[in-house]
């Protein structure tokens, strides 16, 4: 929590309920003299009998009650005989159990620790302890003491307790020497240490490490940073200037740093279309892995399962629908060939086609899985198809361990999924790492049907998977481009198709229309119109619920008509402060009971419950209502559709107001009514595919607030934000010298 005031707790460890060797996460029972307290946190291994001083906050766990969440723990060895006996009896020192501990303490009393550290010969005078055994006991005791000293030294250099434990688990007693020599070598998910943290550590050292270490780490940092901008790789020549600025050096020093990083395998350089590109190894292997698997799937399709036109006609008859030629082609490819990209805009029949694919596959007793990148997209897929759909993470069974920054999946190359076909919707939202993990988990015989709209925004994560695969020309692609008669009645649909072609939408402000432009040139007046639309005009005119039906979509977070400002205005009107409503403030905004909120990162540990069922996990993009804030007991409840999630108060950082959201955050979702400001759009966000994505989020009504100039600026700009990626090249390339080995 921001500016959280920490408490201090001092006591004696009575019992260790749980300890994770890998993460250092510990649950201990501590006697403070006045009461017994449960202390939890990533604080390293504690010993029964040790005296500890903890800094942290009090909390209330939904299942385990009141706890002290420790951020840091300093432990000292007990000084009295009783404490020493309890400490050694805990098994903290290998080779010493309760019986041996009793013998040692009875003989040496308060001198026990001094004997264990310095005098194995005296220890060997005890009956039953040989000289060799005594030396081993003393060695183990000093090793234990050394671990505490090392952890303390690491935290003194500026590492958090969590970072210190991860570093110690990797390097053991050599951790201090390692970090002193080169703190930049610690950067990575295994330690949680970033480039900025390594810079801080370097400043705390008596002697700064050589520039070459910092320079190589800086090159990797720039590549990591650009992953956040969607780039899987960067041209070598384009990294020179930002590296000179970051490292404060000349071009020659940067070139040397790049070569050193390549030689040490910290980065990978490959020629892509006759230009040198730099990759982080894990992203390079993800793109190469996708390309190699796609080539295998194209060359070795699943066992042929030819489909007869009569089967498609029978499905049309039973479903009372009529497929066009392209829809039939898509069904034939999907069922018989087993690999297909199905793309198309709104109203072109993608969902109906997918229903046909599902049914005809099931008619052949194929086991079919449906998946989408987000919870809302999966829910929408399930509602439209009538078949169960999961997030890709749920399908692969994500594993996310407490205290670690990396995720893994139960299903992978060694443990593939048990399905004959997987159908993935909203593929435009899937980044290279997630798609690579999905392909790894597919059994060799599995069919893969990929559905998406290539004109929508690219994924938030790195890569351009859908577009690159289509552009490669290596996979079967069916593009549905016929807008069906029923959809033609919707101006939302017809205008979305006009926008894709670079044409201005047609505005029809008649009462029967579902697409409106409320003209406004003033950003202040636009705010007022948006507020009036959401809270009065649309509820009164259409019966829409401001909390459940209407969504404001903004191109940007910032500015007068950005999400931050619009959220504050709508919250003040829809859910104003009240003595009956608890609220919590975080980083300049307020969350209040009754607010519409959105989860902004995946959290696989948050418990939820609904009638007759419990589970864990809430996901990026989930939208719900904040129903309870109980700071005293450290509980926040959010209702997502039919389930209630229970958070710790510290998880408020994963929630933000959702009366308004960015267009990027809306991907994979649909709303009955969308209101969108279209004036003062920042130049870097004034793109056609952003505007198109916003239009296609509306099911029944779309209201634009602004002017035609703002709309034209987006419609005419089809440049898209440039993303560097190599997937298309890897798929097209016949160069086998660089094929991945598994």
Domain termination residue (choose one: 447, 479, 511)? 479
DSSP H helical ranges for 127-210: 131-156, 161-171, 175-181, 195-204
Residue 688: inside a domain: yes
CA atoms within 13 A on the CB side of 166: 20
CB of 285 closer than 8 Å to CB of 741: no
How many other C-beta atoms are found inside a 10 Å radius of the C-beta of residue 10?
12
598, 265, 300: which is closest to 445 by C-alpha? 300
Are 239 and 322 contained in the same domain? Answer: no
Residue 733: inside a domain: no
CB of 594 closer than 8 Å to CB of 659: no
Are 184 and 267 contained in the same domain? Answer: yes
Instruction: Give the pLDDT of residue 65.
Output: 74
- What would the pLDDT profile of 189-233 be if each residue is shown by its tens digit? 667 788 888 888 888 888 888 999 999 999 999 999 999 889 999
Instruction: Give the pLDDT of residue 133.
Output: 92
Instruction: Give the pLDDT of residue 669.
Output: 86
| pLDDT > 90 in the chain, percent | 54
The whole-angstrom separation of Cα 694 and Cα 702 is 9
Dihedral sign for Cα atoms in the order 376, 381, 387, 389:
negative
Dihedral sign for Cα atoms in the order 461, 464, 467, 472:
negative
Mean pLDDT along residues 635-651: 87
Are 457 and 530 contained in the same domain? Answer: no
Are 93 and 179 contained in the same domain? Answer: no
Mode of pairing for the β-strands spanning 660-662 and 550-554: parallel
| pLDDT > 70 in the chain, percent | 95
How many other C-beta atoms are found inside a 10 Å radius of the C-beta of residue 21?
9
CB of 403 closer than 8 Å to CB of 20: yes
For residue 188, give the DSSP letter.
B
The whole-angstrom separation of Cα 183 and Cα 186 is 6
Are 344 and 439 contained in the same domain? Answer: yes
The total of structural domains in the chain comes to 4
For residue 93, give the DSSP letter.
S
244, 198, 202, 242: which is closest to 223 by C-alpha? 242
CATH no. for residue 68? 2.40.50
DSSP H helical ranges for 248-280: 251-263
Instruction: Give the pLDDT of residue 742.
Output: 32
When mean pLDDT is compared across 3-7, 129-133, 702-706, the lowest value belongs to 3-7
The whole-angstrom separation of Cα 124 and Cα 620 is 60
Are 451 and 340 contained in the same domain? Answer: yes
User: What do you get for the CA distance between the two ends of the chain, in Å?
Assistant: 43
For residue 333, give the DSSP letter.
I
Are 72 and 180 contained in the same domain? Answer: no
Angle (CA) 404-649-63 rounded to 5° is 80
97 annotated to a ligand binding site: no
Instruction: Give the pLDDT of residue 436.
Output: 97
185, 188, 178: which is closest to 154 by C-alpha? 178
Residue 741 has pLDDT above 60, yes or no: no
DSSP H helical ranges for 277-308: 281-299
576, 492, 569, 490: which is closest to 534 by C-alpha? 569
For residue 193, give the DSSP letter.
B
How many other C-beta atoms are found inside a 10 Å radius of the C-beta of residue 80?
11
Q: List, in order, residues 6 or more apart from 334 with CB less than 8 Å away.
A: 340, 342, 357, 361, 447, 449
The whole-angstrom separation of Cα 741 and Cα 435 is 19
Dihedral sign for Cα atoms in the order 9, 11, 16, 21:
positive
CB of 604 closer than 8 Å to CB of 391: no
Are 508 and 523 contained in the same domain? Answer: yes
- What would the pLDDT profile of 465-487 be if each residue is shown by its tens digit? 999 999 999 999 999 998 886 66
Instruction: Give the pLDDT of residue 405.
Output: 46
CB of 349 closer than 8 Å to CB of 482: yes
474, 404, 392: which is closest to 437 by C-alpha? 392
Which helix (H) or strand (E) segment holds residue 221: the answer is helix 211-227
Average pLDDT, the chain: 88
Are 544 and 651 contained in the same domain? Answer: yes
614 annotated to a ligand binding site: no
DSSP E strands, 325-396: 339-344, 368-372, 389-391
Mean pLDDT along residues 706-733: 90
8, 23, 73, 65: which is closest to 47 by C-alpha? 73
Q: How confident is the model at residue 2 (pLDDT cuts 50, 70, 90)?
A: very low
- What would the pLDDT profile of 274-292 be if each residue is shown by its tens digit? 999 999 999 999 999 999 9
- What would the pLDDT profile of 87-110 be if each residue is shown by its tens digit? 888 777 888 989 999 999 999 999
How many other C-beta atoms are found inside a 10 Å radius of the C-beta of residue 599?
24
Q: How far is CA 107 from the centre of its chain?
A: 56
Instruction: Kindly report each contact of residues 442-445 with a partner whose C-beta sits within 8 Å and lies 24 or more positions away, as own/partner.
Output: 442/293, 442/416, 442/417, 443/416, 443/417, 443/418, 443/419, 444/296, 444/300, 445/302, 445/303, 445/420
- What would the pLDDT profile of 683-706 be if each residue is shown by its tens digit? 888 889 999 999 999 999 999 999
Q: List, in order, residues 6 or more apart from 185 with CB less than 8 Å away.
A: 178, 213, 217
Are 293 and 274 contained in the same domain? Answer: no
Domain termination residue (choose one: 281, 303, 324)? 281
Among left, alpha and beta (phi > 0; psi -120 to 50; other), residue 149 is alpha
CATH no. for residue 190? 1.10.10.2220
CA atoms within 13 A on the CB side of 541: 14
Residue 200: inside a domain: yes
CB of 551 closer than 8 Å to CB of 703: no
CA atoms within 13 A on the CB side of 61: 14
> Based on the number of CB atoms within 10 Å of its own CB, is 510 exposed (0-12), middle (13-18) or buried (19 or more)?
exposed
The whole-angstrom separation of Cα 627 and Cα 104 is 58
Instruction: Kindly report each contact of residues 608-615 with a partner whose C-beta sits within 8 Å and lies 24 or more positions away, as own/partner.
Output: 608/640, 608/643, 608/644, 608/645, 608/646, 609/643, 609/644, 609/646, 610/642, 610/643, 610/644, 611/642, 613/643, 615/643
Residue 245 has pLDDT above 90, yes or no: yes
Are 591 and 545 contained in the same domain? Answer: yes
Mean pLDDT along residues 568-592: 90
Residue 45: inside a domain: yes
Dihedral sign for Cα atoms in the order 591, 595, 600, 603:
positive
Residue 372 has pLDDT above 50, yes or no: yes
Are 692 and 568 contained in the same domain? Answer: yes
Where in the sequence is the domain holding 238, given as residue range(s)? 161-281
The whole-angstrom separation of Cα 134 and Cα 124 is 5
Domain termination residue (choose one: 281, 310, 331)? 281
CATH no. for residue 410? 3.40.50.300
Which helix (H) or strand (E) segment holds residue 434: the answer is helix 432-440
Three-state DSSP at 586 gives: strand
The whole-angstrom separation of Cα 278 and Cα 270 is 7
311 has which bridge partners? none
Mode of pairing for the β-strands spanning 635-640 and 623-630: antiparallel
Q: Order of strands, edge to edge, in the sheet holding 613-618?
A: 613-618, 603-610, 643-647, 635-640, 623-630, 596-599, 655-657
CA atoms within 13 A on the CB side of 686: 15
Residue 338 has pLDDT above 60, yes or no: yes
Residue 737: inside a domain: no
For residue 537, give the DSSP letter.
I
Residue 66: inside a domain: yes
Residue 51: inside a domain: yes
Q: How confident is the model at residue 143 (pLDDT cuts 50, 70, 90)?
A: confident
Residue 148: inside a domain: no
344 annotated to a ligand binding site: no
When mean pLDDT is compared across 36-50, 55-69, 95-109, the lowest value belongs to 55-69
Residue 328 has pLDDT above 60, yes or no: yes
289 annotated to a ligand binding site: no
100 annotated to a ligand binding site: no
């Amino acid at each position: 929590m921001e500016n959280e005031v920490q408490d201090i707790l001092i006591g004696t460890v009575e019992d260790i309920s749980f300890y994770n060797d890998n993460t250092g996460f510990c649950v201990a029972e501590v006697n403070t003299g006045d009461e017994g307290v449960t202390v939890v946190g990533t604080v390293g291994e504690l010993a029964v009998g040790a005296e500890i001083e903890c800094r942290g906050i009090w909390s209330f766990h939904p299942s385990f009650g009141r706890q002290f969440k420790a951020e840091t723990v300093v432990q000292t060895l007990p000084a009295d005989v009783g404490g020493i006996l309890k400490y050694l009896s805990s098994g903290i020192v290998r080779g010493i159990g309760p019986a041996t501990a009793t013998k040692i303490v009875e003989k040496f009393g308060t001198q026990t620790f001094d004997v264990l550290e310095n005098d194995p010969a005296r220890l060997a005078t005890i009956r039953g302890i040989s000289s060799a055994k005594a030396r081993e006991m003393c060695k183990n005791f000093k090793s234990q003491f050394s671990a505490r000293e090392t952890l303390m030294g690491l935290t003194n250099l500026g590492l958090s307790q969590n970072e210190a434990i991860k570093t110690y688990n990797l390097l053991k007693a050599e951790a201090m020497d390692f970090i002193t020599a080169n703190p930049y070598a610690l950067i990575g998910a295994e330690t949680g240490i970033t480039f900025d943290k390594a810079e801080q550590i370097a400043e705390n050292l008596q002697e700064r490490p050589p520039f070459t270490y910092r320079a190589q780490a800086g090159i990797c940092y720039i590549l990591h940073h650009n992953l956040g901008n969607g780039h899987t790789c960067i041209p070598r020549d384009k990294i020179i200037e930002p590296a000179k600025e970051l490292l404060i050096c000349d071009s020659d020093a940067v070139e040397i740093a790049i070569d050193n990083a390549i030689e040490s395998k910290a980065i990978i350089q490959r020629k892509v279309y006759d230009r040198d590109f730099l990759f982080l190894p894990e992203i390079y292997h993800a793109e190469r892995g996708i390309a190699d698997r796609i080539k295998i799937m194209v060359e070795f399709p699943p066992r042929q399962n030819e489909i007869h036109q009569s089967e498609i006609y029978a499905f049309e008859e039973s479903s009372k629908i009529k497929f066009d030629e392209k829809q039939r082609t898509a069904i034939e490819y999907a069922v018989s060939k087993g690999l297909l990209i199905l793309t198309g805009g709104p109203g072109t029949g993608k969902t109906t086609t997918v229903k046909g694919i599902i049914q005809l596959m099931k008619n052949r007793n194929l086991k079919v899985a449906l998946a989408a990148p987000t919870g809302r997209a999966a829910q929408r897929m399930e509602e439209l198809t009538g078949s169960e759909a999961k997030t890709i993470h749920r399908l692969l069974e994500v594993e996310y361990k407490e205290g670690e920054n990396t995720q893994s999946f139960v299903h992978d190359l060694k443990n593939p999924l048990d399905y004959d076909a997987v159908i993935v919707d909203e593929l435009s939202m899937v980044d290279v790492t997630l798609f690579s993990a999905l392909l790894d988990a597919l059994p060799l015989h599995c069919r893969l049907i990929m559905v998406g709209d290539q004109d929508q925004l690219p994924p938030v994560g790195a890569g351009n998977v859908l577009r690159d695969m289509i552009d490669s020309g290596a996979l079967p692609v069916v593009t549905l481009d016929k807008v069906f008669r029923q959809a033609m009645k919707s101006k939302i649909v017809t205008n979305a198709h006009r926008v894709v072609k670079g044409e201005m939408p047609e505005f029809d402000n008649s009462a029967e229309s579902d697409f409106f432009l409320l003209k406004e040139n003033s950003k202040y007046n636009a705010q007022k119109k948006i507020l009036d639309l959401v809270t009065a005009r649309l509820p009164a005119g259409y019966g829409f619920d401001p909390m459940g039906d209407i969504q404001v979509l903004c191109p940007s977070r910032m500015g007068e008509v950005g999400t931050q400002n619009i959220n504050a205005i709508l919250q003040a009107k829809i859910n104003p402060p009240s003595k009956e409503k608890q609220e919590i403030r975080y980083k300049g905004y307020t969350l209040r009971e009754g607010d519409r909120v959105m989860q902004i990162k995946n959290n696989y540990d948050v418990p939820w419950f609904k009638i007759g069922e419990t589970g864990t996990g809430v996901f990026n993009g989930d939208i719900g209502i904040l129903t309870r804030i109980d700071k005293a007991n450290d509980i926040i409840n959010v209702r997502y559709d039919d389930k209630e999630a229970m958070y710790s108060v510290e998880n408020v950082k994963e929630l933000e107001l959702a009366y308004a959201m960015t267009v990027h955050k809306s991907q994979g979702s649909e709303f009955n009514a969308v209101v969108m400001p279209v004036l003062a759009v920042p130049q870097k966000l004034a793109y056609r595919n952003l505007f198109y994505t916003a239009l296609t989020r509306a099911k029944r009504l779309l209201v634009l607030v602004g002017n035609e100039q703002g709309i034209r600026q987006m419609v005419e700009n089809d440049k898209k934000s440039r993303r560097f990626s190599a997937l298309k090249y890897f798929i097209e390339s016949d160069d086998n010298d660089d094929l991945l080995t598994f």
